[in-house]
Amino acid sequence: MTAKTLFEKIWDAHVVAAESTDTPAILYVDLHLVHEVTSPQAFTELRERGLKLRRPERMLATLDHSTPTLPTAANGERPYANDEAKAQVAQLESNCREFGVALHGWDSADRGIVHVIGPELGVTQPGMTIVCGDSHTSTHGAFGALAFGIGTTEVGHVMATQCLLQRRPKTLAIHVDGQLPQGVGAKDLILHIIGQIGVDGGTGHVIEYRGPAIAALSMEQRMTVCNMSIEAGARAGLIAPDETTFAWLQGRPQAPQGAAWDAAVARWRRLPTDAGARFDREVRIDATAVKPTVTYGTHPGMAIAMDAPVPPARNAQEKRALEYMQSQPGQPMQGMPVDVVFIGSCTNSRLSDLREAANVLRGRRVASRVRMLVVPGSEAVRRDAEREGLHQVFTAAGAEWRVPGCSMCIAMNGDLAQPGQLVVSTSNRNFEGRQGKGARTVLASPATAAASAVAGSIADPRDYLVEVAA
Amino acid sequence: MKPVTRIHSRTAVLADENIDTDRIIPARFLTTTTREGLGRLCFHDWRYQADGSDNPAFPLNQPQAQSCAILVAGQNFGCGSSREHAPWALLDYGIQAVLCSELADIFRNNALKNGLLAITVSEGEHRWLLEHPGSELAIDVRGEFIELPDGGRIAFQLEPFARHCLLHGVDQLGYLLQHADAITRYEQQHQEQVA
């Protein structure tokens, strides 16, 4: 039998009709995740064409992008940013009722960011194909699922046929050798990787992250890595399922139970890339060389170790990016004054992320110049964090503890920074204006974000963690 | 989708590399629930000044860029968010084709599904196009070539199915629905996986 990669095994198992020169493959989709922003036009099209959902039980919907993260007012009103946001949420609620889709809405104990709740509920499983009208669907690749973002036209295709027309992408292996140093995490690693291969380094490819540093990551760290695959332009990111994956999934509400669990694990154990399988491209990364990493420009590929000097602009775009960021070539980012700190998003809003930030903040205060928002990724994360008292650590330090949602990552719900403000953010995109028109974003890990909140300027979290240990 | 066979226009140039879909249409406008009318929001924060007037520094606001239907963009155009609002906004703004040396995958896919020609050319050809804004071009979808002002040609390749759909205005959802029996067979044969 030919040796196959993890990607090839999943792909081959989902081909309904093979691709030819003239036509793409028809690929079956096991799980379709839906949120309020990229679905309304697709539901409208189905309604106009008199079509039904082919497999509504393979869909899971939630409210996350346009939703306020401030609590409901005493009069029961939710503080939406505007009437359009409110109407968009209402439209998903009515679409889900009309078409029979399970919605984890306002009344659900499981509502949250779509890429946080899929895994939490055990809906995300190894070997699956998963799509969502959202580029960070790559997050689910952490479980060894082929997961990718699609546009709204394709959302409609999946609704009506449970299939997509797809050309087979190429494969890129990123081997991460060695182990990450103490105080350096998954976010630092993925920013470092994107800094190495570039924002288009993965274009046309599905990445498989491999090697000892990847195997040593927790599931939540693996999700952080796979989440940002799209920031390298990749179609998807994958990590082979292993004992860490199975242990994390076992007992989740929608994970298989009993004999079905054993059968599923036996199936999942056959998924990892076979010895001798070939990738179209391979890249090696040395984990031991990774330091706390931040971005200094206006795309995630402009990433450097925080103590390294900002490189000179190589072209007009980079010059414009440095001017926008007010970052100085030759100077490190460390020490740059900070106005806002955001901890949240599908990249870094899980319990371990909040613990990482709280470990830095415990017994300390957020600098007076800094506004800090902590937005848990889901209601479950919020409950778990509150059970541990993490919310008290945040509020005692002077941070705001919010209701789950995408919040300031995409800044379409009213949570945003003012023009010129510098945001140290655990999210995934530092594009111009992403967190508010004119706002400047520095991407960083939860530990770096928390340390920067305390210092009032971009700070190395290792300085804070050492103090705690001493 | 209406068939797209040939586009004839002068070019406008946005030379910046890595123009992301947040720049094409900022996220705060994504609360819309329709596809229509997004042209006025296209490149919003680049195109307008704080008082709402046109930003004279935005290349597409230049008089010579008016009514250009072909956009030549810097490498990796359309990166970032998967929002299909980006091609909807470009089309409504009047752009019918984007030429680039490299396009982000999801953007290209979304664009072609809406009849926005998303075409990659070689780096050398791309450089020439970037350096010659206002060039009168004709894009021929059937022949897969771009006719230059001097009569020269740049060949390009579209994914064959996307090209077929553009030329004949094929409805891709209709095409998929024709395969309903094959999908049912697949579901029956993969009960375990699809359980």
pLDDT (0 to 100) of residue A470 = 44
Q: Would you tell me which residues 257-276 of chain A have a C-beta closer than 8 angstroms to some C-beta of chain B?
A: 263, 267
B170, two tokens: 């094929």
Determine, for residues B113 and A133 on separate chains, whether the beta-carbon distance falls below 8 Å.
no
Question: pLDDT by residue for chain B (195 residues), tens digit each?
Answer: 899 999 999 999 999 999 999 999 999 999 999 999 999 999 999 999 999 999 999 999 999 999 999 999 999 999 999 999 999 999 999 999 999 999 999 999 999 999 999 999 999 999 999 999 999 999 999 999 999 999 999 999 999 999 999 999 999 999 999 999 999 999 999 876 544
Domain containing B152 — which CATH number? 3.20.19.10
Assess A200–B contact: CB distance below 8 Å, yes or no: yes
Is residue B13 within 8 A of residue B178, CB to CB? The reply is no
A295-469 maps to CATH 3.30.499.10: yes
Spatial strand order in the sheet of A146-149: A103-104, A59-62, A31-34, A129-132, A146-149
Angle CA(B15)–CA(B16)–CA(B18) in degrees, nearest 5? 130
A207, two tokens: 């990445």
Q: Would you tell me which residues 149-168 of chain A have a C-beta closer than 8 angstroms to some C-beta of chain B?
A: 149-154, 156-157, 160-163, 165, 167
Contacts of B80 in chain A (CB under 8 A): 135, 230-231, 429, 431
Three-state SS for B124? helix
Determine, for residues A263 and B79 on separate chains, whether the beta-carbon distance falls below 8 Å.
no
- Res A309 pLDDT > 90: yes
For A354-369, what is the mean pLDDT? 98
pLDDT (0 to 100) of residue A11 = 98
Determine, for residues B172 and A317 on separate chains, whether the beta-carbon distance falls below 8 Å.
no
Q: Would you tell me which residues 339-368 of chain A have a C-beta closer than 8 angstroms to some C-beta of chain B?
A: none
Contacts of B79 in chain A (CB under 8 A): 199-200, 233, 299
pLDDT (0 to 100) of residue B113 = 97
Which residue, A155, A149, A125, A126, is CA-closest to A137? A149
Neighbours of B182 (CB within 10 A): 13
Residue A458 φ then ψ, to 5°: -60, 125
Mutate to test the interface with A, among B19, B31, B183 (most CBs of A within 10 A): B31
For A220-228, what is the mean pLDDT? 98
| Alpha helices, H only, chain B | 21-24, 44-47, 85-93, 105-113, 123-131, 160-168, 172-177, 180-189, 191-194
Element containing residue A146 per DSSP (H, E) = strand A146-149
Question: If pLDDT is split at 50, 70 and 90, which confidence band does A349 have?
Answer: very high
Assess A320–B contact: CB distance below 8 Å, yes or no: yes
Q: What is the rounded distance in angstroms from the CA atom of residue A421 to the CA atom of residue A416?
A: 10
pLDDT (0 to 100) of residue B192 = 61
Place of tokens 């067979």: B185
- Res A56 pLDDT > 60: yes
Contacts of A54 in chain B (CB under 8 A): 183
Residue A393 φ then ψ, to 5°: -60, -45
Q: Where are the domains of chain A?
A: 6-166, 170-240+266-289, 295-469
Determine, for residues B31 and A153 on separate chains, whether the beta-carbon distance falls below 8 Å.
no
Distance from CA of A410 to the nearest CA of B (A): 6
Please, how many CA atoms are within 13 Å of residue B39, restricted to the half-sphere of its CB? 11
For A110-128, what is the mean pLDDT? 98
Place of tokens 């182990």: A179
| Alpha helices, H only, A198-343 | 212-215, 219-227, 243-249, 258-268, 316-325
Q: What is the separation of C-alpha A60 from the centre of its chain, rounded to a whole number of angstroms?
A: 17
Residue A239 contacts by C-beta under 8 Å, 6 or more apart in sequence?
A: A141, A142, A143, A144, A208, A209, A210, A214, A217, A222, A225, A226
Distance from CA of A456 to the nearest CA of B (A): 28
Determine, for residues A437 and B26 on separate chains, whether the beta-carbon distance falls below 8 Å.
yes
Which residue, A219, A56, A203, A8, is CA-closest to A125? A219
Number of domains in chain B: 1
Q: What is the rounded distance in angstroms from the CA atom of residue A298 to the CA atom of residue A433?
A: 9
> Cβ-count burial of A23 within 10 angstroms (0-12 exposed, 13-18 middle, 19+ buried)?
middle
Is residue A431 within 8 A of residue B19, CB to CB? The reply is no
Element containing residue B138 per DSSP (H, E) = strand B136-140
Q: What is the rounded distance in angstroms from the CA atom of residue A152 to the CA atom of residue B85?
A: 9
- Res A149 pLDDT > 80: yes
Angle of helix A461-469 versus helix A351-361 axis, rounded to 10: 70
What ipTM was assigned to the predicted interfaces of this complex? Answer: 0.97
Determine, for residues B81 and A135 on separate chains, whether the beta-carbon distance falls below 8 Å.
yes
Work out the mean pLDDT of chain A and round it to a whole number.
Answer: 97
Interchain CB contacts (distance < 8 Å): A and B: 180
| Alpha helices, H only, A273-335 | 316-325
Q: In terms of CA atoms, which chain A residue is nearest residue B87?
A: A151
Range of the domain at B140: 6-194
Angle CA(A228)–CA(A234)–CA(A238) in degrees, nearest 5? 70
For A291-299, what is the mean pLDDT? 98
Assess A396–B contact: CB distance below 8 Å, yes or no: no
Q: In terms of CA atoms, which chain B residue is nearest residue A429?
A: B80
Please, how many CA atoms are within 13 Å of residue A443, restricted to the half-sphere of its CB? 33
pLDDT (0 to 100) of residue A465 = 82
| pLDDT, tens digit, 9 for 90 and up, residues A84-104 | 999 999 999 999 999 999 999
Determine, for residues A431 and B82 on separate chains, whether the beta-carbon distance falls below 8 Å.
no
Q: In terms of CA atoms, which chain B residue is nearest residue A83?
A: B31
Contacts of B27 in chain A (CB under 8 A): 410-412, 434
Q: Which of A16, A17, A233 sits opposite B104 (nearest CB)?
A: A233
Distance from CA of B185 to the nearest CA of A (A): 9
- Res A129 pLDDT > 90: yes
Q: In terms of CA atoms, which chain A residue is nearest residue B181?
A: A16
- The CATH number given to A170-240+266-289 is 3.40.1060.10
Contacts of B118 in chain A (CB under 8 A): none
Element containing residue A164 per DSSP (H, E) = strand A163-166
Residue A324 contacts by C-beta under 8 Å, 6 or more apart in sequence?
A: A298, A432, A440
% of chain A surpassing 90 pLDDT: 98
* Four-way CATH pick for A6-166: 3.30.499.10, 2.60.40.1730, 2.60.120.1360, 3.10.180.10: 3.30.499.10
Contacts of B105 in chain A (CB under 8 A): 169, 203-204, 233, 235
| pLDDT, tens digit, 9 for 90 and up, residues A169-204 | 999 999 999 999 999 999 999 999 999 999 999 999
- Res A468 pLDDT > 90: no
Please, how many CA atoms are within 13 Å of residue A33, restricted to the half-sphere of its CB? 32
Place of tokens 């089309």: B91
pLDDT (0 to 100) of residue B195 = 44
Helices (runs of H) and strands (runs of E) counted in chain B? 9, 7
Assess A233–B contact: CB distance below 8 Å, yes or no: yes
Contacts of B186 in chain A (CB under 8 A): 16, 28
Determine, for residues B104 and A203 on separate chains, whether the beta-carbon distance falls below 8 Å.
yes
**What helix, strand, coil percent values describe chain B, rounded to 5?**
40, 20, 40
Q: What is the rounded distance in angstroms from the CA atom of residue B13 to the CA atom of residue B21?
A: 17
Determine, for residues B192 and A127 on separate chains, whether the beta-carbon distance falls below 8 Å.
no
Place of tokens 């109407």: A87
Is residue A381 within 8 A of residue A112, CB to CB? The reply is yes
Q: What is the rounded distance in angstroms from the CA atom of residue B97 to the CA atom of residue B71?
A: 6
Q: What is the rounded distance in angstroms from the CA atom of residue A407 to the CA atom of residue A66?
A: 8
pLDDT (0 to 100) of residue B1 = 82
Assess A316–B contact: CB distance below 8 Å, yes or no: yes
In a domain, B1, yes or no: no
Element containing residue A156 per DSSP (H, E) = helix A152-161
